[in-house]
Structure 1
Amino acid sequence: MFTVLIRTAILYFLVIISMRLMGKKQIGELQPFELAITIMISELASFPMQDTRIPIIHGVIAIITLLLIQTILSVLELKSEKVRLLLNGKPSILINNGKIDIKELRRQQFNINDLMEELRLQGHFNLDDIHFAILETSGQLSIIPKTNLAPATKGDLKVPFKQDTIPVTLILDGSINHDNLKILNKDENWLNEKLKRFNIDSPKEVFIALIDSQGSFYYQKKV
C-alpha cells in the first residue's frame, strides 16, 4: 500500500509539472496536438498507478519524452508559419462581410444552429449585426460586430467611424509573411519602408508586425 502511495505521488507531481511547463492554456484553448499530448500524458501516468508490476521509470520516461516533443513543436510553431499551419491549421471565416459562408460551414462541420448558439452566447442575436465571425484553430468563435452597432454605439452618437476588419500579420519572429503581403497588395519593399520610418533596419529585428483592425501599422521589436 505504501508503495502505491509513493508511486501515485511521484506521478501526480510529474504530471502537474508537465502541465505547468506546457503553459497556462485552458482545455478549451488547446490546439489539437496539445490536447493529444495532454491526454496521452494522463493515460501514461495512470498505468503505473494501477499496475505496480509496471516499473515507474517507464511512465516517467514516456511522460518526459512527450513533454520534450511538445516543447520542440511549440518552439517550431513560434519560429515557422508553415509548421504552425501544419499543426494547427488556420482560422476559418464563417461570416464574411455580414454573409454566412455556407461552404466553409460545411467544410468545418459547423451547422447553423451551432453558429447561432455561439453568437447568442456572446450577446449577438441578429446576423445583420455581425461583420465577421471567425472559427479559431482552438475551436472558439471570434466575433467582429459591425462597428456602428458595437457597445457605446458610435452610430447613435453620430460619431464618424471606420469599420473594423481582420488584422493581418506581416512579420512574426523576424519572418515575413509574403502571403499576407499579397492579400494587402503590398510587397517587401513597402514593408521595409514602413520599418525604416520606425528606425528598424531589418525585419529580423521585429518580433511581430501587423496591420490592425483599424488599418494602422503596429510593431514590437525583439527584446
Structure 2
Amino acid sequence: MICHLPLGVFIEVCALKKDSMKKLLKGQPSLIIRNGEWDMKQMKNNHLDLEQVRTMLRKQGVFTLRKVRDLYLEPGGEISVKLHTETGSVTPDMLGLDSGDEPPSILVIEDGKIKEEELQSVKKSKEWLMKKLQK
C-alpha cells in the first residue's frame, strides 16, 4: 500500500522524530554578534550585510550598535537581541532625569570603503575617522 502524504507533513514528522533531522530541516540560530564582537563569517554564511542588520535592529527599537551584546539570526529570518546591561556609573535614566536622545548610529564604512556622504552628514572628516580607527 502506497501512502500519499504531502511532502510538508513528511518533513514535519521527520523533524519531530530526530534532532539531527530537525537541525537540518528547520535550521538553528546563528550568533551574528557575540559579546559586542561581529562574526563576519556568520554574516557571510547568512548572506547579510551590515545595513540589513542595522535595519532589523531599528525595527526592534535599537538605534546604536554599541548597545548590542549578542544578536541571533533565527531560522525564520527574525533577529533576537540581548543588550548590554547598564552597570557601573549611575545614569540620568536611573534617576528619572531626562538624559536627551542619543542619535542613531551612522554607517561610515561599508565593505571596507569609507562612505564620504555619511561622514559629511555628521560633519566629520576622513582624518577624524582614521584617528578613531587607530584607538
The TM-score range, normalised by the shorter chain, is 0.5 to 0.7
Normalised by the length of structure 1, the TM-score is: 0.36
What's the counterpart of residue 84 of structure 1?
22
Which of 28, 37, 42 is 1:104 aligned to?
Answer: 42
* TM alignment of 1:1-223, pairs within 5 A: 65=4, 68-148=6-86, 156=94
Gap runs ≥5 in structure 1: 1-64, 158-223
Normalised by the length of structure 2, the TM-score is: 0.57
Distance 2:82 2:17 in 1: 28
Counterpart code for 2:81: I
| Bigger helix fraction | 1
Counterpart code for 1:75: V
Distance 1:144 1:75 in 2: 32
Larger Rg: 1
Q: Which has the higher contact order (CA 8 A, sep 6+)?
A: 2
Distance 1:93 1:115 in 2: 12
- Displacement after TM superposition at 1:105 (Å): 0.7
Gap runs ≥5 in structure 2: 96-135
Percentage of matched positions with identical amino acids: 31
Work out whether residues 15 and 26 of structure 2, in 8 Å CA contact, stay in contact via their aligned partners in 1.
no
Moved over 6 A (4+): none
